[in-house]
Amino acid sequence: MYSAVLFVLCAAPVNAGAVKWVYANAGATSADQSAQTATWGGICVTGTEQSPIDVVTSSAVPTSLPNIDTHFTAAVAFVKNSGHGFQLFETSPATHDLNASGVFVDATGTPKGYSMIGGEKYNFYQVHWHTPSENTIDGKSFALEAHFVHQLADPALVGTYHRLAVIGLMYELGECNKFLDMFWSEIPTMKGSAAYTGAFPDLNQKLTAELAEGYYHWYGSLTTPPCTEGVSWNLLKVHETVCERQVKKLQSALGNTQNGISFNNRVTQLLNHRVVTSTGVKATVVAHTPSAAAAPVAKAVATSTDDDGVKTVVILTLVAVLLMVVIFIVGLAFLFQKLSTLPKAA
């Protein structure tokens, strides 16, 4: 049943016979709001909790949400060009394999693992990449963004768009990413899948240090039609690097499958009434390698404090001091008034 349900970056018409949704019109060099509005429709246009968003770090509310823990178990058997981006694994709780006839659920049908997000268990489905990033931070766009897609571990939800969760990871332009280089060149430049037999690091080990540094959390939507809302978004504060060669590989493939459109990002949406919360420390950039992925982030980063929290404490302290000064002055004025009414000595 689940194979009929397509998720983020799976190219499907908005409805049968309709114009396919697009990121921009032919010849455009960046995502276009008007083209997306015209071809996406539905809640993509009318919704009030849409994704992606611009995360304004100074407005993020510090919170004590639990750390995210991943427990991924699946091995990579093939790599995929969905027609709208690069992807590992199928959008399903079951492990898939690849043969001459195509992609299929493997003989065991075992799950691919899960993550603990906000204290709840979410089954891991797939990871895919956007260029440029869909979410932005303080107005800044990034060269690449990964989305680790999950769904709440409830069999009744399988085959639906409900109770989804995404772990987002930003990549800044810099050194080539050695993790991506392990499989990036194997992904087809046209829509389809290719067998993968190379080495592959433990995704849990890769993400451990990054997850420990905290994340921004809010509720949003899918970033492609049908733009279903209620998605738990969790954007890591730690960023990785990606080089121009790797970005161009994805851009070239997108151009092949999207009529020359070499990007796959939705424009940012209004936050409206929503609140972005923040856990952990300040954001930083790390150049990860598979062998060093689990190493702790620099001590300076681990011991840094949240600027917003410090500002809040300082402001509250100043308010308290000012209040005490006002009370003291009022008390003195009252005392002098009483003294002035006392009868004078003869």
Kindly list the catalytic residues.
Answer: 84
- Is there a contact between 98 and 195 (Cβ–Cβ < 8 Å)? yes
Strand partners, 215: 236
Alpha-carbon distance of 169 to 239, in angstroms, equals: 6
Residue whose C-alpha is closest to residue 19's, from 32, 38, 46, 47? 38
Is 64 strand, coil or helix?
coil
For residues 86 and 79, give the distance between their C-alpha atoms in angstroms, rounded to a whole number: 8
> Alpha helices of the chain — where are they, by DSSP H?
33-40, 43-46, 178-181, 203-212, 244-257, 299-302, 307-341
Please report the beta strands in the chain, taking only residues with DSSP state E, as ranges in sequence order.
54-55, 61-62, 69-72, 78-81, 86-88, 96-99, 102-105, 113-117, 120-130, 136-137, 144-152, 164-173, 192-195, 215-221, 229-236, 238-242, 277-278, 284-285
What DSSP string runs through 205-226? HHHHHHHHT-EEEEEEE-SSTT
CB 127 within 8 A of CB 147: yes
CA distance 215 to 283: 9
Decide the pairing of beta strands 61-62 and 164-173.
unpaired
